[in-house]
């Protein structure tokens, strides 16, 4: 009889919370909305009209393919224990095909079903390779793109997710990445830069040209930005895996950083080029959202405000000055916004993390007298940059050898919509 | 019969159309085109300002009887004028034949509405 009695703590630890579960279900939907149609429209509007369908299709196919990949093997590689020798690097195969995860099973240490966690994390696995599309847009073969992206999800995303969130070495080190500054944004952004350089410039792309390549549908960019912004509230707000004060703070700081970065960009536009541009505002929004992503669970209003402003300043500088200086054709600024914004957020956690948010004994930054967190954040960032760059370089060489990545010059001139997909966007 | 073509500023199109209507020119076709010349148009994309020399223009074309040529040209000259570089051009051509498909009318008769 006595054996059936549990302590209060034990009872709490095995109860599903319907509020938490409901919020993470909503967050999962929000994060899916970020890729399709959010990112698809954002990127689709920025390319020329002859390539808009290719970008939409790339976002669509990645959503489908990565959902399958995630269930088959991705989740297991990222979120199971890989055995003593390799667990610092990658998880194991215990949960391939979601082996053994029952409907009633809760995620260990949380009050939501593990199956829900699988879905929620799966949406992150989808959007990360989709972000890279921005770097090679308008000049990539569909076949090469798909093979590259799937392999990238398998051997770049999964290990990194394991390093940071699945019990690997970066997480063990104490580095903070609340919603994917390293795993999602630095990872995708740095890979984007490597891809842009290896793939070469688009035909006719010259940043100082009198005939620049400009967006074909800015209202698409606006709708995409708005959907990204809304979705991001689930991206960051759901990453605490609960509906509580931390998620409320995450949503608050996410909005603050996005607003601060957008205003910063618009201010710079007005000062430097005399006109506040719509694409500029939208780019600022995304820069702020990216930068606050890793920090949304550890910083408050002040941190978010400063992170937003700094990300607006630095991303503007990267896109308007550094890119023209080095002339790499990062078509839609996947590196300039996601890579750089992610690095800013990831590092600045080490400055602005506060125990007002992380709780007593939690992480805090240099602003509160602790220098060790900054150092840890720096290592996590550097490791991510190096790993992403190296692996992407390797994958590019392999896939290029196997099926070819760069589209033929003739098809590029015609446009990817007709040459790769046999369709025309606007009759 | 003469064909009159004109390349004008997009911003002046409504005025030109109204002026032609007032000059009794009721049949008119036009296209949105891009043109290149000495004028440039400022564009900004992600922090970089460009002076683009491909500028949006309206290309319009219509055929009139000899008696209407002068007032059509005058109407365009007056309504499309700003005085700055990039106001456009007017071209006048001779037309060999004109046939109204519905009635089979040829020549001058095909160019105006007899009921009016």
Interface-testing mutation among B35, B40, B42, B45, with chain A (most A C-beta atoms within 10 A): B45
**B51 phi-psi bin (left φ>0, alpha ψ -120 to 50, beta other):** beta
Q: Is A427 helix (H, G, I), strand (E, B) or coil?
A: coil
Contact B28, B62 (CB under 8 A): yes
Could you tell me the pLDDT band of residue A155, with boundaries at 50, 70 and 90?
Answer: very high
Single pTM value for the model: 0.91
Neighbour order of strands in the sheet with B29-45: B29-45, B48-64, B2-9, B88-94
Residues B50, A210: C-beta atoms closer than 8 Å: yes
CA torsion through residues A76, A81, A83, A84, sign: positive
Q: Which residues of B touch A209 (CB under 8 A)?
A: 50
How high does pLDDT run on average in chain A?
94
The pLDDT value given to residue A1 = 43
Nearest CB to B47; choose among A211, A214, A320:
A320
The pLDDT value given to residue A323 = 94
How many Cβ atoms are within 10 Å of B52's Cβ, its own excluded?
16
Residues B48, A283: C-beta atoms closer than 8 Å: no
Higher pLDDT, A206 or A105: A105
Query: Cα(A61)–Cα(A321) distance, rounded to whole angstroms?
Result: 34
The pLDDT value given to residue B58 = 96
Residues A320, B40: C-beta atoms closer than 8 Å: no
Domains in chain A, start-ordered, CATH in brackets?
Answer: 15-421 (1.10.3430.10)
Rounded to an integer, the average pLDDT of A219-225 is 98
Chain A nearest-CA distance from B105, in A, is 35
Nearest CB to A211; choose among B47, B49, B54:
B54
Chain B nearest-CA distance from A319, in A, is 7
Residues B52, A210: C-beta atoms closer than 8 Å: yes
User: What is the percent of chain A where pLDDT is above 90?
Assistant: 91
Contact A377, A349 (CB under 8 A): yes
Give residues with Cβ within 8 angstroms of B13, minimum separation 6. B30, B58, B60
Least confident range of A13-17, A380-384, B68-72: A13-17
Residues A273, B44: C-beta atoms closer than 8 Å: yes
Q: Spelled out in words, what is the top-level CATH class assigned to the domain B2-111?
A: alpha beta
Q: Which of A338, A340, A228, A246 is nearest to A299 (CA)?
A: A246
pLDDT digit string, tens, across residues A56-83: 999 999 999 999 999 999 999 999 998 8
The pLDDT value given to residue A251 = 98
Q: Which residues of A touch B36 (CB under 8 A)?
A: none
* All structural domains of chain B with their residue ranges: 2-111
Which whole-number Å values give the CA distances from A317 to A14, A271, A311, B27, in the listed order? 50, 13, 10, 53
Q: Which of A60, A38, A30 is nearest to A286 (CA)?
A: A38
Complex confidence, ipTM: 0.77
pLDDT digit string, tens, across residues A308-360: 999 999 999 999 999 999 999 999 999 999 999 999 999 999 999 999 999 98
CA torsion through residues B79, B84, B88, B92, sign: positive
The pLDDT value given to residue B46 = 87
The pLDDT value given to residue A204 = 86
Query: Cα(A77)–Cα(A82) distance, rounded to whole angstroms?
Result: 8
Instruction: Please give the backbone phi and psi of residue B6, each rounded to the nearest 5 degrees, phi first.
Output: -145, 140
Instruction: Please give the backbone phi and psi of residue A92, each rounded to the nearest 5 degrees, phi first.
Output: -110, -165
Cα angle A172, A175, A181; round to 5:
125
Q: Which residues of B touch A333 (CB under 8 A)?
A: 46
pLDDT digit string, tens, across residues B62-88: 999 999 999 999 999 999 999 988 899
Query: Cα(A36)–Cα(A48) distance, rounded to whole angstroms?
Result: 19
Residues A279, B54: C-beta atoms closer than 8 Å: no
Nearest CB to B44; choose among A207, A209, A277:
A277
Tens digit of each residue's pLDDT, chain B (116 residues): 999 999 999 999 999 999 999 998 988 999 999 988 888 888 888 888 888 888 889 999 999 999 999 999 999 999 999 998 889 999 999 999 999 999 999 999 988 877 65
The pLDDT value given to residue B39 = 80
């Amino acid at each position: 009889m006595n054996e059936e009695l549990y302590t209060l703590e034990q009872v709490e630890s095995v109860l599903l919370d319907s509020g938490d579960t409901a919020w993470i279900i909503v967050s999962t939907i929000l994060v899916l909305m970020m890729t399709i149609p959010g990112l698809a429209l954002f990127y689709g509007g920025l390319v020329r009209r002859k390539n808009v369908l290719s970008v939409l299709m790339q976002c669509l196919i990645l959503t489908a393919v990565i959902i399958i990949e995630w269930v088959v093997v991705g989740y297991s590689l990222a979120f199971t224990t890989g055995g003593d020798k390799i667990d610092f690097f990658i998880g194991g195969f215990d949960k391939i095909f979601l082996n053994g995860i029952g409907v009633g099973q809760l995620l260990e240490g949380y009050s939501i079903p593990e199956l829900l966690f699988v879905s929620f994390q799966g949406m992150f696995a989808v959007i990360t390779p989709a972000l890279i599309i921005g770097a090679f847009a308008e000049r990539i073969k569909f076949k090469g793109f798909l093979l590259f992206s799937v392999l990238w999800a398998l051997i770049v995303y999964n290990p990194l997710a394991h390093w940071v969130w699945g019990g690997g070495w970066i997480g063990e080190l104490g580095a903070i990445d609340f919603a994917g500054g390293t795993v999602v944004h630095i990872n995708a952004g740095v890979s984007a830069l490597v891809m842009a350089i290896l793939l070469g410039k688009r035909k006719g792309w010259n940043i100082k040209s009198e005939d620049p390549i400009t967006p074909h549908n800015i209202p698409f960019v606006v709708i995409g930005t708005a959907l990204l912004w809304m979705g991001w509230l689930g991206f960051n707000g759901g990453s605490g895996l609960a509906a509580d004060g931390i998620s409320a703070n995450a949503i608050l700081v996410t909005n603050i950083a996005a607003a601060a970065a957008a205003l910063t960009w618009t201010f710079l536009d007005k000062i430097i080029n005399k006109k506040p541009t719509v694409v500029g505002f939208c780019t600022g929004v995304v820069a702020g959202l990216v930068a606050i992503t890793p920090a949304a669970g550890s910083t408050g209003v002040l941190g978010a405000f400063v992170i937003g402003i700094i990300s607006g300043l630095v991303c503007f500088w990267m896109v308007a000055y550094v890119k023209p200086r080095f002339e790499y054709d990062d078509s839609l600024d996947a590196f300039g916004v996601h890579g750089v914004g992610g690095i800013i957020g990831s590092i600045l956690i080490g400055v602005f993390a506060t125990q007002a948010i992380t709780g007593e004994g939690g992480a805090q930054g240099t602003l509160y007298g602790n220098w060790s967190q900054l150092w840890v954040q720096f290592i996590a960032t550097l490791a991510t940059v190096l790993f992403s760059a190296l692996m992407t370089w390797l994958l590019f060489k392999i896939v290029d050898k196997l099926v070819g990545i760069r589209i033929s010059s003739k098809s590029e001139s015609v446009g990817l919509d007709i040459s790769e997909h046999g369709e025309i966007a606007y009759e | 019969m003469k064909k009159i073509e004109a390349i004008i500023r997009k911003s002046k199109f409504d005025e030109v159309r109204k002026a032609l209507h007032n000059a009794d020119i009721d049949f008119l076709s036009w296209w949105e085109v891009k043109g290149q010349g000495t004028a440039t148009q400022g564009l900004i994309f992600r922090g970089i300002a460009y002076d683009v020399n491909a500028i949006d223009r309206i290309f319009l074309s219509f055929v009139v009887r000899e008696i209407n040529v002068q007032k059509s040209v005058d109407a365009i000259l007056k309504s499309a004028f700003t005085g700055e570089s990039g106001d456009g051009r007017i071209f006048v051509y001779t037309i060999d034949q004109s046939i109204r498909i519905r009635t089979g009318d040829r020549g001058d008769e095909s160019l105006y509405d007899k009921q009016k």
